[in-house]
Amino acid sequence: MDEEEEKRIKELVSHIYSTSPEEWKVLRRIKGLYERLDKLRLEILLKHLYIEFFINKVLTKKGLIRDKEFNMSFSNKLELLREIKLINPVILEKIHIINRIRNKLAHNLFISNQEVEKEINKIELDEGYYYPKEITPEYRIYDASFKIIWYLHRLK
């Protein structure tokens, strides 16, 4: 072990021993959150990224934003799509719900799976499609995001 590595280890150990009981509680909670970071949460974040990718493509293709110039907020992009009536209101509502869920996940460290699932259940299923007997939150997110991405892909 070289001198620099030994110094880093000593600093880490001294920090651990100077951590207050309150800080330990927070650290344990954060550790628990990482362990609970399940597939559903990851899927929501990824689906949101894909949706924004295709929204950017549509806005670029329509000349509403320049290529590689995507500094507009997601909400502003949705408002622009709504204002010019470029997007079906049912699709737009699904995007809004997914965006609200994503924001709750991104800005609330301690959100429960039950809160996330309650929001997901606000996503309406479209009529005229075959659905499995049991509609899980994972399926709702998959179904909605697939239809949104397909719709946006066809617009560009």
Domain tally, the chain: 2
pLDDT of 156 reads 67
Average pLDDT for consecutive 10-residue bins of the chain (156 residues)? 69 61 69 63 90 91 75 89 89 94 85 85 84 84 91 86
pLDDT on residue 148: 93
- Taking residue 44's Cβ as centre, other Cβ atoms within 10 Å add up to 23
Specify whether the CB–CB gap between 60 and 38 falls below 8 A: no
The answer on 58 and 106 residing in a single domain is yes
Q: Are residues 140 and 64 in the same domain?
A: yes
Q: Quick check: 151 and 91 in contact, CB under 8 A?
A: yes
139: DSSP letter: H
Domain that holds residue 5: 1-36
- Position 15 scores a pLDDT of 59
pLDDT, position 91: 93
- 30 shares its domain with 53: no
Q: What's the pLDDT at 117?
A: 86
Q: Are residues 72 and 15 in the same domain?
A: no
54 shares its domain with 10: no
Give residue 110's pLDDT.
Answer: 73
How far apart CA 22 and CA 37 sit, in angstroms, is 23
21 and 50 share one domain:
no
| pLDDT on residue 9 | 65
- Residues 138, 150, single domain; the answer is yes
Q: What is the CB-side half-sphere exposure of residue 106 using CA atoms within 13 A?
A: 12
Note whether 144 and 115 are same-domain residues: yes
* Residues 100 and 68 reside in one and the same domain: yes
The dihedral region occupied by 100, where left means phi > 0, alpha psi between -120 and 50, and beta the remainder, is alpha
